Structure 1
Amino acid sequence: MLLRFRVANHRSIRDEQTLSLVAVPRRGETTELDTVRVAGIYGANASGKSNVLSALMWMSDAIRSSHTQWEPVGGVPRQPFKLSDAGRAAASFFELDFLHKDARYSYGFEVDDTQILGEWLYTFPHGRKKKLFERSGAEEITFGRALTGENQRIRRLTRPNSLYLSAAASNNHPLLGALYADLINKVMFAQHGEEDEKLRLHLTKFLLNETDFAPALNKLLRLADLGVERAEVMERPNDPTPDDPTESAAVLRAVRAQVVLRRTSGGVPLSLEAESAGTRAWLSLLGHALITLRGDAVLVTDEIDSSLHPLLSSSLIRMFRDPVINKRGAQLIFASHDTTLLGSMLDNEIMARDEVWFTEKDDSGATSLYALAEFHPRRDENVERGYLQGRYGAVPYLNFDSIREVFRERDEATREPQA
């Protein structure tokens, strides 16, 4: 379970920004640490919404890949702020506060183009900060007494451009391997590019073959009122057999398998690729949601409203906010332009005040991230209307008279001169 994410010098995020999933206590409530189940990020086009999610994804990929896949002499494939010389020269910073087996941890690192500049891991027994390890520079690593295991041996195996946490997990460190598994396996990303859709549909194909998931997946598909009775996996007919005789039967079945949808009205089943983008988006996001909700995990998705009706995207959010459905504290982090999710037209409260975030760019092109809760909106305040009116910033400012003037000037320039 994530508590906070901090990042600096990644893409348009120049200065340190914080996304907090710690609930803001209401008036009269205690300040006991609790987390929100949903965090939605809003902002104008190109304001940096996607870059906040990209930063979390980059951190996850660095933890997963730095020791095993990054080239030993290839430096660090980071993406710093490039609109100033200072940004290109400065370090990039990433830090996560999270819970593992009800214990709080804080893990982070700093990198430049060539190496790891710093890396740290702390825990907080009884609320007091305790060092597990600290790294200063490429090779100097000190360990706290609470961190047992082959720490020194793993330190010697850690390259200048490899994270110690990544190296420790690859070498079967008991605690660090468990934390690594949480950060990698329990933070899932659902993107919306063409290749990402193929990955999402591959997951859907897997779930439809699992008796634990297929019934719920099909029931939720029917409830969406898309005219679909059920999805199932069928083998493609007349697929040519690959030339490679070493291919296993299981691999061949996976390659030949396709997802088809049977319509409520009957008839010939259609392949999922022939269905609408909205149907594909709903089915593929459902697969991610079911796995996330079952496994106390985190689902991160950009453009949650892409191809989806507002009632479907709001239903997905409500799944995570509903304590009956979300019994294990799973979390959903998303970016969106769908302002209906902010208002009360679809439901009394789709998102709470501390679940809404905004991004805005300044004149230098740097993104700032801030919370709706900072504005202390009234309980009965129409957040959707306030957002569209610019009350919280994070919206494009368009003067329609200026737009009309562009067309007037064009008409003047193309008007034929009178004889």
Structure 2
Amino acid sequence: MLVSISVENFRSFSGEETFSMVASERLAGSHSDHALPIPNSSEKVLRAAVLYGANGAGKSNLFKALRYVERIALRTSKKNANTKRERYLFCDDLTKPSSFDLQFIANNKLYRFGFKVDELHIIEEWLIEVVGRKEKIIYERTTDTNGIVMVDAPELSKIGPKLAALAMIGGPQNQSFLATISATLNSSEYGDEISGILRWFKSTLTMVAPDESYAELGRDLSENIDFLNFAGDFLKASGTGVDHLIPQKTEISEDDLRSLLPKEVANHFIDVVNGDENNGRGIVHLPNGNEVMIEKAGESRIYKISIQASHTLPSGENFSIELNEESDGTKRLLDFIPALHQSKNKNSVYFIDEIDRSMHPMLVWKFLEFFLRSCNSSSSQIIVTTHESNLLDLELLRRDEIWFVEKDQSLSTRIYSLADFAVRTDQAIQKHYLNGRFGAVPFLGNLENILPQRNK
């Protein structure tokens, strides 16, 4: 689970701002099932958070900050490549580093992973286990002015000689040591703890941007009958008009693949999977909404996966259409359904940016309610940004699960919680928000001044 993230000098964040999922002790009696214990701590972490703010306030920049942390944690970099950090543009000091600090729960432990970064270097990096009020350093990494990477790793040296040797080398200056471990060693050589941390970034954390689709939807629908039935039932119950989904998975040849994709793209796709750079599996989305999947298990096999949506006509007959012909709202909802299905069975963290895009307000509300009801037996978590004010409902969420994002006079983003305000549980939170009591709403000027003047 995500516990907190602190960001400084990134996009619209100037000074350090912290978004925290730690439950307020003052609200312990409110939706107590929404909070789970933090390991080795008297505090609890929340299952959900909803972030509000005007357009341009910085909601999506928090999403992008976490995605950047994920990228730094996992991806390797070419020599002398830029770190792709996006500094706060109105900062006078162009050399000031950007800073990120993430707290999360993996392996039933609380960890801190963070770093300071400029255009070319990861200047500092740390991975720490937090045990109560104490911190157990797993490793600390620094890069000096000459670009020399030094890693202090007292705990890693106990795991194995290869990991200890890698700590002595340090790795590239523009790449995190965590990514260097993942790219250089096998899991058996870096142990269960690092494996669990890497798995949190690779599998537990799922981020869905407004213009993104769920990458493995076709594969999951064609290979997992429980998920297929769940997705069909949910679409039907949501009033989309879809009765059920029909996946078709067909094996094709390399020549068939080259007829579906530009030759250079097809060849690169095959080379990447055969080179085991993606754990022997790769997926490409075609313009018509279908997928191509390559699996490497001995010999590589290539499949084309298509999804049809079946509708029941008034006559009782079934009529199927390609999924890409469905409405944007139906396709957007289908991208979210894995969050509902997986929340019942495994620990997952979903961060969805602009959940209300193409979605009806009632459906957004029911989606969030369903998630919170269905994940009681797991440690699943959902964080969303939205403009949908119907979610400002204290029967649905706790006050500390509602957050606001706005820019101050210096054009820097600030983040704060509804728990910072004195409000009664019977108050109309939605009305107060739209009236501007909590901030984080658009400040509209006099639009009359820009209307064309009519001749009298």
Q: TM-score, normalised by structure 2?
A: 0.80
The alpha carbon displacement at 1:290 in A equals: 2.0
**1:169 matches 2:175:** no
Matches within 5 A, 1:198-209: 200=214, 202-209=215-222
The alpha carbon displacement at 1:337 in A equals: 0.3
Give the Cα separation in 1 of the matches to 2:375 and 2:125: 37
Q: What does residue 26 of structure 1 align with?
A: 26
The Cα offsets for residues 141-191 of structure 1, whole Å up to 9 and x where unpaired, read as 212347622443112151111111111223231122321221222110112
**RMSD of the TM alignment (CA)?**
2.8
Give the Cα separation in 1 of the matches to 2:117 and 2:28: 43
Q: What does residue 138 of structure 2 align with?
A: 132
Moved more, 272-281 or 211-220: 211-220
Matches within 5 A, 1:70-81: 70-81=77-88
CA 1:263–1:395 in structure 2 vs 1: closer, same or farther (change >3 Å)? same
Structure 1 SS opposite 2:101: strand
1:403 is aligned, of 447, 453, 456, to: 447
Structure 2 SS opposite 1:285: helix
CA 1:242–1:167 in structure 2 vs 1: closer, same or farther (change >3 Å)? closer
Give the Cα separation in 2 of the matches to 1:207 and 1:356: 32
Q: 1 or 2, which has the higher strand percentage?
A: 2
The alpha carbon displacement at 1:320 in A equals: 2.9
The Cα offsets for residues 185-240 of structure 1, whole Å up to 9 and x where unpaired, read as 211011222xx23xx2x52212211123111111111111111110111369xx99
Q: What does residue 106 of structure 2 align with?
A: 100
Give the Cα separation in 1 of the matches to 2:424 and 2:414: 24
Alignment identity in percent? 26
Structure 2 SS opposite 1:280: helix
Opposite residue 195 of structure 2, the aligned amino acid is G
Give the Cα separation in 2 of the matches to 1:129 and 1:341: 37
The alpha carbon displacement at 1:397 in A equals: 1.8
The alpha carbon displacement at 1:122 in A equals: 1.6
**1:258 matches 2:310:** no
**1:314 matches 2:351:** no
Structure 2 SS opposite 1:222: helix
Q: What does residue 383 of structure 1 align with?
A: 429
What 5-or-longer segments of structure 1 have no aligned partner? Answer: none
**1:229 matches 2:243:** yes
Q: How many residues align?
A: 395
**1:372 matches 2:418:** yes
Give the Cα separation in 2 of the matches to 1:126 and 1:85: 39
Give the Cα separation in 2 of the matches to 1:293 and 1:164: 34
Q: What does residue 142 of structure 1 align with?
A: 152
The alpha carbon displacement at 1:386 in A equals: 1.0
The Cα offsets for residues 17-55 of structure 1, whole Å up to 9 and x where unpaired, read as 111111112367699321111111100000000000110
Opposite residue 426 of structure 2, the aligned amino acid is D
Structure 2 SS opposite 1:159: coil
Give the Cα separation in 2 of the matches to 1:60 and 1:183: 6
Q: Is the 8 A contact 1:282 1:308 kept in 2?
A: yes
Give the Cα separation in 1 of the matches to 2:258 and 2:332: 34
Q: What does residue 178 of structure 1 align with?
A: 196
Q: Is the 8 A contact 2:156 2:164 kept in 1?
A: no
2:227 is aligned, of 213, 216, 219, to: 213
Q: TM-score, normalised by structure 1?
A: 0.86
Q: What does residue 280 of structure 2 align with?
A: none
CA 1:90–1:363 in structure 2 vs 1: closer, same or farther (change >3 Å)? same
The alpha carbon displacement at 1:375 in A equals: 1.0
The alpha carbon displacement at 1:105 in A equals: 1.3
Structure 2 SS opposite 1:228: coil
CA 1:189–1:33 in structure 2 vs 1: closer, same or farther (change >3 Å)? same
Q: What does residue 55 of structure 2 align with?
A: 45
Moved over 4 A (4+): 27-31, 242-255
Give the Cα separation in 2 of the matches to 1:145 and 1:364: 43
**1:332 matches 2:347:** no
Opposite residue 256 of structure 2, the aligned amino acid is T
